[in-house]
Amino acid sequence: MDKSDIIALTDAKAMLEHPGIAAKITHALGTPIERGLEHMPIAWSNRIGEITKNSLLKAANAAIFTLGDAPKVPSSNWLHKAAVIMTGGAGGLFGLPGLALELPVSTTIILRSICDIARSESENLRDSATKLACLEVFALGGRSTHDDAAESGYFAVRLALARSVSRSFNYLAGRGMIDEAAPALLRLLAPIAKRFGIQVTGKVAAQAIPLIGAAGGALINLIFIDHFQAMARGHFIVRRLERKYGADLVESIYHNLKTG
């Protein structure tokens, strides 16, 4: 593998294996997410899962199937960040009840940003596999200090998703049903939504902390999109190198790389 590609893969690993969103929000706010969880109504635990699934479904239809294909154009990360900062600020004014309105919008913006990054790494957005890879980013939450590395590492998550998602996705895509059969797409997104829901819970828990308000909501959304932009960049660097060198070699080198 070329030296420049090894450096790129090292950077990708550093992004993909970084601690998850809860750790990042805790670091920024100086307040453990556990304190936010104490302020969340019990009923919201189940409600978050429902909102997360619906948000992914709306985002898939509104973003991933409408963005044009322009390979190698640099991604517009800050434009997407500015947009979710605004939605986070508005959502912060309404606290937890505003999540059902804010999260679908934020998720759509984040997915468009993910697609933008994929396109900048020479992915073809018309390809069903690329569409799936964009959605997969929501399951790449990064590890926390409590996670089992064998179960939550980047390639382990990709393998788990491949087993549960790819067959259904290819079946639907081959029949032109991806943006038409909402119930089928919702079942397809279920394993991704489950992992994404963990990240959303961290976001909601932080917003549940008293006095967070609009400014805090904007900051949390900035951390949220920055996190998934990093996951997307790492993910699509790996995929670009896999196309060049083959998946087995890239994975082998990835596991042997040391990051700071």
Do residues 122 and 240 lie in contact, with contact meaning Cβ atoms separated by under 8 Å? yes
pLDDT value of residue 95: 57
At residue 167, the pLDDT reads: 62
Extract the tokens encoding 252.
């082998």
Element (H, E) at 50: helix 44-59
pLDDT mean over 5-32: 85
181: CB partners within 8 A, 6+ apart: 172
pLDDT band at residue 149 under the 50/70/90 scheme: very low
pTM tops 0.95, yes or no: no
Output the pLDDT for position 150. 45
Tell me the backbone φ, ψ of residue 143, rounded to 5 degrees: -90, 150
The pLDDT of residue 91:
52
- The pLDDT, as a whole number, for residue 85 is 61
